[in-house]
Amino acid sequence: MRVRVATTILGITAVLLAVPACSTDTVGNPSDSAPSARPGAQADTAQQAALLSSAALETRLLNESDLGRGYLRKPERPSQHDDVTVMGCPALNELGGDAATGGTLSFPRKAKADFTYGGSSSEVSEELYSDSAAKLSHGIGRIFDAMTSCPTYQVLAGGTPIDMASQELPAPRGLGDEQWSQLLTFSTGDRSTVVKQTAIRAGSLLLIVSGSPALVDRHLGKALTKATAAS
């Protein structure tokens, strides 16, 4: 399978997915009791009102002062697209054109920040998304299921072979409504990079923290607290 992907600084850390467009059905006056009113219209309206815009999500990302000394935010750079071929992972292939490695999820309401630590190669990345609980749960769930179903596989990114290893980790309990976690190892030649990725859904908000395992563990709770704080 050959697909287009957006390569990120952390390498292959997520799978792109396509989310169906929101319904364009019109909603009448909440007090309208006409028999023709669509069932659940009021609930749908309330759910839409609870969704956060990309601008609002941006304010809920961790910043340097939240993380502490030694962290620097990396400037956002235009995405670069490379052809990627996934080999040895049928579950990822089954996702078809929606599946790719690298880049961010395609939910329309999103925000992201990348940081380096101590001037070293250690990095941590935070992503926030807002959509209905059902869409967030289904989207991120199928991605983690597909990636952790293949202990080892290989990708060709721009002609460069990358050996992949994935391992499902115990999800952190007591955080949000749903949790997922995995450990990814990328190997090229004699170099290997280990990335931990933990996702937490809290209502209509999805938080993903990726990067050096120690940094993910250190800042996950803090990221969730700020992301879910009342406006």
Mean pLDDT of the chain: 77
User: In the chain, where are the structural domains located?
Assistant: 2-16+51-227
pLDDT of residue 188 exceeding 80: yes
Q: Are 88 and 154 in contact (CB under 8 A)?
A: yes
Interacting residues of 51 by C-beta distance below 8 A, sequence separation 6+: 109, 130, 131, 132, 204
pLDDT interval class at 76 (50, 70, 90): confident
Cα–Cα distance measured from residue 42 to residue 143, given in angstroms and rounded to the nearest whole number? 31
Beta bridge partners of 73: 115
CATH topology of domain 2-16+51-227: Protein Transport Mog1p; Chain A (3.40.1000)
pLDDT of residue 144 exceeding 80: yes
Q: Which of 24-33, 38-47, 73-82 has the lowest mean pLDDT?
A: 24-33
* Highest-scoring range by mean pLDDT, 6-15, 32-41, 91-100: 91-100
Q: What is the pLDDT of residue 90?
A: 86
pLDDT of residue 133 exceeding 90: yes
Q: What is the pLDDT of residue 142?
A: 87
**Beta 71-73 vs 123-130: how paired, if at all?**
unpaired
Q: Residue 30, SS3?
A: coil
Cα–Cα distance measured from residue 125 to residue 210, given in angstroms and rounded to the nearest whole number? 5
pLDDT of residue 19 exceeding 60: no
Q: What is the pLDDT of residue 5?
A: 32
pLDDT interval class at 93 (50, 70, 90): confident
Paired tokens of 149: 């179903």
pLDDT of residue 198 exceeding 60: yes
pLDDT of residue 46 exceeding 80: no
Higher-confidence residue of 117 and 98: namely: 117
Q: What is the pLDDT of residue 70?
A: 94
Q: Are 180 and 191 in contact (CB under 8 A)?
A: no
Mean pLDDT of 59-75: 95
Higher-confidence residue of 121 and 8: namely: 121
The length of the chain is 231
Q: What is the pLDDT of residue 189?
A: 85
